[in-house]
Amino acid sequence: MNHTAWADINLTALTHNLATVRSLAPHSRVVAMIKADAYGHGLTAIAKALAGKADKLGVARFQEAVALRDRGINSPLLLMGTLLNHETLQWCANNNVAITLHEGNQLPLLLTSQLDHPLEVWLKADTGMNRLGLSADEFTQALSSLQKDSRFRLKALTHFSSADESSSPITQQQIKRFATLTSLAPDMERSLANSAGIIAWPESHADWVRPGIMLYGDNPTTAIETDLRAVMSLRARVIAIKDIRAGDSVGYGATWTATSPCRIAAIGIGYGDGYPRQVGNGCPVSIQGQLFPLVGRVSMDICSVDISQAASPINVGDVATMWGDELPAATIAARAGTISYHLFTGVTQRVPRIYS
């Protein structure tokens, strides 16, 4: 089908990025985070591409775990922070899905659960994120109670709040707090590092690392170079070209007015596809390897670029790259006042994902 807008998903880049994770943390096993529809890249396809390559796959919602099992994906799973009950615990134990204990009131639920199989439980310590996680007292109590119960296989994790800052004293404090807590069970496997921790804090790698955004090609740190490749390239076709005069405006609200005669290309993508409305005039768009400025407001289905300075003719049907292999998503995210995570997960379902 000749799509107007689509996302090219490069699975070779994905596995390259996983290899980069392993090169940075060679002594750690990997939980590859595929929550939120694999950061907008497509849950099932990404899970299949990572099956047998990552040691576990990480999801955030019980429904994501069920969907993967229903689709025949048998990789070990880790279910991060979510609501649990006796039924979901039983299902997880039966389906090789580890769960995260992140709230004190979950402990009695676990202890009174009826399980037919052992359940892997990751005790999440709140070391400073102050979002999900057990307090020091709750962690100690949970560890003491669950160690005595042969139904449970225990691991420990925490989550960094500021690991993208390579000299953050907050991260140093979190590492120390986690070390103190887990010293109560020195043989228990531990996990601290998200993508930023993998890149910027090698002392945090421990037994398991949990890469997310770096798998999809974005480096969440600013000062450390990594060999990551874009997995998603969001593309759209030129659907119209017109010449306008000096003084003519483009788009809703006339937020951009030509100061000289211009040639304008209308691109068949807008905020209805997940391209951010707030990027503003001048945001770069790549066509034929050349960057052109966006002009006028992004609308639901269309945005416009000024192609007056094109080095070669641009025609209806030509392909524009909105972000991806020719134009970093982080560049567009900065223009929109957001982060690449938001861009990737915001690409809507009317945009087909094309895998290669």
| Cα–Cα distance list, 282 to 194, 253, 295, 303 (Å) | 33, 16, 6, 12
Q: Which of 85, 3, 26 is nearest to 351 (CA)?
A: 3
Q: Of the residues 48, 242, 252, 355, which is catalytic?
A: 252
Residue pair 55/30 in contact by the 8 Å Cβ criterion = yes
Structure token pair of residue 67 = 């969907």
Residue 200's alpha-carbon distances to 55, 157, 206, in angstroms, are: 22, 18, 14
Would residue 252 show up in a list of annotated catalytic residues for this protein?
A: yes
Question: For residues 160 and 144, what is the distance between their CA atoms, to the nearest angstrom?
Answer: 25
The reply to whether 355 belongs to the active site is no
Measured torsion, CA atoms of residues 64, 272, 284, 338, in degrees rounded to the nearest 10 = -50
Q: By 3-state DSSP, what share of the chain in percent is helix, strand and coil, each rounded to 5?
A: 30, 25, 45
Residue among 35, 56, 124, 155 flagged as catalytic? 35
Tell how far CA 92 is from the center of its chain.
24
Residue numbers annotated as active site: 35, 252
